[in-house]
Structure 1
Amino acid sequence: MENIILIFICLVIGFILQKVKSFPQNSAQTLNQLIIYISLPALALYYIPKIKISTDLLYPIGVAWLGFGLAFVFFALLGKILGWSKKLIGCLVLTGGLGNTSFVGFPVIEALYGKEGLETAIIVDQPGSFIVLSTLGILVATYYSRGTANAFEILKKVVLFPPFIAFIAAGFMNILKYDFTNEMQIVFQKLGATVTPIALIAVGLQLRFERESKHWQFLTLGLAFKLLIMPSFFVVLYLFILKKSGVVIDVSIMEAAMAPMITGAILASTYGLKPKLSSMMIGFGIPLSFISLAFWFWILQIF
């Protein structure tokens, strides 16, 4: 429950700081860079060396990778048909394709499914959502933030993306069965813990409630995809096509129904992909997701 309270407090703090004239105007961009250069790499170095690789990971991991692929196909095709700008498409792919599988996901899953469910949620988040963000996410952000795509420039952005560098280092550590000392693990854990409060304050700093905003229709579409279409896809795929069941499958589907990922919105904002819309996807998506999650939990009890 404390995580949910922290979410709303940080959003409100950021929103209030908009009104403080002495507060630096570019604070949101500075906070975003802090997350990308320090907090996210610390998370990778803390969690990834501990992941145990097995075939049991396929279904939880599939939620992040297949879900992001679905978002890319959906919004890229729709954007091409309707003549959307590249920045709008990129924003919706990042915010609609990545779920808040950790900060919102962990406490919700633990409350509903206990420790067993939480173990699956961690798999969805780390080798799933986090790695998708650090690889495909930066690819999409780079491609859609530029007028013309340059393969070398995109590759350079990915390779030099701090969370990706940390992921590669942590991946080698996992293969070599090596981890940091307890003292260093605590340091990385505490640095990684700064992601959520800093990111949410940054989102609050960019959140606008404009009645006549041109973003409302895209916000509605983006949240409909993330909260309804994506989990529907995994219900059909996992339950009816693959005919799988159990706690691992239920948790995977619930994680697919989570609100947009905070750091996905931060990445979109950092690359200039409709910062206002990306902030609205978080500001409205998180509270609305508690309603949609109750619906999906009910659906899973039926099947």
Structure 2
Amino acid sequence: MHWTKVNVTGSILHLWFLGAILTNLLELYVKLGGLVLVGFILGRKLPVTVPTRLGLFLFWVGVPISIVSFLRQSSLSGQIWIAPAFAYLAILLGAFLAWLGIKAQAYFKNTVPQPPTQASLILAAMLGNTGYLGFPITLAMVGKEHFAWALFYDLLGSFPGTYGLGVLLAARFGGGVQNHWQITRAILINPALWGFGFGLLFRQVTIPTVAEFWLEKFAWSSVALSLLLIGMRLALLKSWRSLPQVGMSLGIKMLLVPLILGSMLPLFGITGAIAKVIVLQMAMPPAFATLVIAEAFNLDRDLAVTALASGAILLLVTLPVWLWLF
């Protein structure tokens, strides 16, 4: 009788937990998906210059100020440097598995993609959208207390990895070497990194309550605008020809890498909400930077476009899995 009561209680708690996850997911899809959908509709109606200008505003103003605001409300624990370390591990593991996949295709099918296509496949498997998409999802599913882990993962891990290893890979397989200085300059003047540094210094500064209130409102408005921007950009993506090839990269980026590295987190004492933050960042779909790099270095642009669109759709399916597992 005692064990029966325990089993019933456990089943009730399990159902309650699953119900809470489903409720949170529904709220997430309504808020985030609704904003992306609105952006998608606007992207079909408004001039092409609108998403470009919105992207510039977020790049130079919205994202840096949001980082300053959220850092003031985040907890910085002693192990937070593990976040960028796992970002580098995710990038390297994604690149290695994609390289193995290309070699396996050459061995079993006797077909080898062209070098620009190989580079785009590897980039899609290693670089995730940990900023414009990862930040809002982390804030919605975990909250502001542990948001600094997402910031460290993106700004000290994904960003340098993208414009460091990603650019080296693109230069190796593609062209456009004359763009090296442009990429280096983009890293040095990146406002998000400057906002990150200023936010760390500004954390302990006391400001009026009214200023704190409007700073937070501006930060959340920028998050909403970033989701609108994703929808606008997705509205401009029209190529699906490379979908069969993209499947390998998406499987590596959004399934294998988070599963393998996420299973290692407890070995470093990372569990609970913090583990969820890191896994969510690792499980994000391919970054828009893959398209930027593909255009700059003459890689397979159609494949990069297809990876972006299909990855965003696949996230709707994979997100509940990671929330349930971790």
Alignment partner, residue 65 of structure 2: 42
Partners in 1 of 2:134 and 2:238 — Cα distance? 30
CA apart distance, 1:106: 3.6
Alignment partner, residue 30 of structure 1: 53
Which of 190, 195, 204 lines up with 2:231 in the alignment?
204
Indicate yes or no: 2:284 matched with 1:259. yes
Partners in 1 of 2:153 and 2:307 — Cα distance? 21
Query: What is the DSSP-based 3-state SS (H/G/I as helix, E as strand, rest coil) of the residue aligned with 1:84?
Result: helix
Partners in 2 of 1:50 and 1:210 — Cα distance? 36
Contact 2:91 / 2:126 at 8 angstroms: preserved in 1?
Answer: yes
Indicate yes or no: 2:182 matched with 1:136. no
Partners in 2 of 1:278 and 1:34 — Cα distance? 25
Partners in 1 of 2:27 and 2:222 — Cα distance? 16
CA apart distance, 1:100: 4.6
Partners in 1 of 2:84 and 2:227 — Cα distance? 25
Point out where structure 1 has 5 or more consecutive residues left out of the alignment: 111-117
CA apart distance, 1:49: 5.0
Partners in 2 of 1:282 and 1:185 — Cα distance? 36
Partners in 2 of 1:27 and 1:140 — Cα distance? 31
Q: Residue by residue, what CA displacement relative to the aligned partner does 1:97-145 show, whole Å, maximum 9, x if unpaired?
A: 77954322343346xxxxxxx744x243122224434443444666548
Alignment partner, residue 135 of structure 2: 102
Alignment partner, residue 84 of structure 1: 116
Indicate yes or no: 2:199 matched with 1:170. yes
Larger radius of gyration: 2
Partners in 1 of 2:161 and 2:217 — Cα distance? 26
Q: Residue by residue, what CA displacement relative to the aligned partner does 1:224-271 show, whole Å, maximum 9, x if unpaired?
A: 1233112222244234xx37574256535643564338xx43x44556
Query: What is the DSSP-based 3-state SS (H/G/I as helix, E as strand, rest coil) of the residue aligned with 1:6?
Result: helix
How does the TM-score come out when normalised to structure 2? 0.66
Partners in 2 of 1:194 and 1:69 — Cα distance? 34
Partners in 1 of 2:237 and 2:64 — Cα distance? 35
Contact 2:39 / 2:227 at 8 angstroms: preserved in 1?
Answer: yes
CA apart distance, 1:57: 2.3
Which range moved further: 283-292 or 136-145?
136-145
Q: What RMSD, in angstroms, separates the aligned Cα atoms of the two structures?
A: 4.0
Alignment partner, residue 89 of structure 2: 66
Count of aligned positions = 280
Which of 285, 291, 314 lines up with 1:285 in the alignment?
314
Point out where structure 2 has 5 or more consecutive residues left out of the alignment: 1-25, 104-111, 296-300
Query: What is the DSSP-based 3-state SS (H/G/I as helix, E as strand, rest coil) of the residue aligned with 2:79?
Result: helix
CA apart distance, 1:288: 1.7
CA apart distance, 1:276: 2.8
Alignment partner, residue 4 of structure 1: 29
Which range moved further: 33-42 or 179-188?
179-188
Structure 2 counterpart of 1:12, which letter?
L
Specify whether residues 223 and 249 from structure 1 end up closer, same or farther in structure 2 by C-alpha distance, changes over 3 A only: same
Specify whether residues 150 and 268 from structure 1 end up closer, same or farther in structure 2 by C-alpha distance, changes over 3 A only: closer
Contact 1:60 / 1:249 at 8 angstroms: preserved in 2?
Answer: no
Contact 1:64 / 1:98 at 8 angstroms: preserved in 2?
Answer: no
CA apart distance, 1:185: 3.6
Indicate yes or no: 2:218 matched with 1:191. yes
Structure 1 counterpart of 2:313, which letter?
F
Q: Residue by residue, what CA displacement relative to the aligned partner does 1:8-31 show, whole Å, maximum 9, x if unpaired?
A: 2222223323443xx212333222
Partners in 2 of 1:171 and 1:245 — Cα distance? 23
Contact 1:215 / 1:277 at 8 angstroms: preserved in 2?
Answer: yes
Contact 2:94 / 2:122 at 8 angstroms: preserved in 1?
Answer: no
CA apart distance, 1:284: 0.7
Specify whether residues 15 and 235 from structure 1 end up closer, same or farther in structure 2 by C-alpha distance, changes over 3 A only: closer
How does the TM-score come out when normalised to structure 1? 0.70
